Amino acid sequence: MSGSGPARGAWGWHPLDSRWAQRVVDAAGVRPGDLVLDVGAGLGALTAPLVRAGADVVAVELHPHRADRLRRRFADAPVRVVRADAADLRLPTRPFRVVSSPPYGISTELLKRLLSPRSRLVSADLVLQRQVVNRWVDGRAPGRARWSRYYDTSIGIRLPRKAFTPPPHVDSAVLRIQRTTR
């Protein structure tokens, strides 16, 4: 099967089980018409429940074969597939949300981009390594002084290793980020 086998290890890919993906999307509270970025979309584990929730989805995937499969799978859905590195991703100019299970190796860089001063981020629910989530929630995140006035962080659902195939060697949780109204 294209997009599986050796490419998983080479790209550090651990797809999220569809039942857990649905739980993540449900917990995020996505509403019809929301613009939602799914960074590291893979084959669409989170993209599919986002579409069912009525979101307009931008599915970002760097791996060329997975990006092609996403385009075919969601050809008739409100999904725009962008083949890009998260570090080079242009963020939307209108308010947006993120519901994503990005590669763990890019999480810090992605968070810096999402929380940049010009970002129109409203909220984010990111499946990340639990150690990273704890660091962001405990106030030990890089650049905290720049973004903490504008965003609150909390721990969302915790995901067991078996929520992924193959299971990663680390525990995972959802980092919830919400723009404040202060």
What CATH number did the domain enclosing 22 receive?
3.40.50.150
Is 40 annotated as belonging to a binding site? yes
With a cut of 60, say whether residue 26 has pLDDT above it: yes
Please give the model's pTM, rounded to 2 decimal places: 0.91
Number of domains in the chain: 1
Q: Quick check: is 85 in a domain?
A: yes
Q: Quick check: is 1 in a domain?
A: no
Which residues fall within 8 angstroms of residue 136, CB to CB, at 6 or more apart? 111, 153, 175
Is 44 annotated as belonging to a binding site? no
Q: Quick check: is 95 in a domain?
A: yes
Q: Quick check: is 65 in a domain?
A: yes
Q: How confident is the model at residue 21 (pLDDT cuts 50, 70, 90)?
A: very high
Structure tokens at 23: 């739980």
pLDDT at 31: 97
Out of 45-49, 61-65, 137-141, 142-146, pick the least confident. 142-146
In sign, the C-alpha dihedral spanning 101, 129, 159, 11 is positive
Q: Quick check: is 97 in a domain?
A: yes
Q: Quick check: is 166 in a domain?
A: yes
Task: Please give the residue range of the domain that contains residue 157.
Answer: 6-179
Q: Is 5 left (phi over 0), alpha (psi -120 to 50) or beta?
A: left
- What radius of gyration do the chain's Cα atoms show? 15
Q: Quick check: is 25 in a domain?
A: yes
pLDDT at 12: 64
Alpha-carbon distance values, 132 to 58, 139, 154 (Å): 24, 11, 12
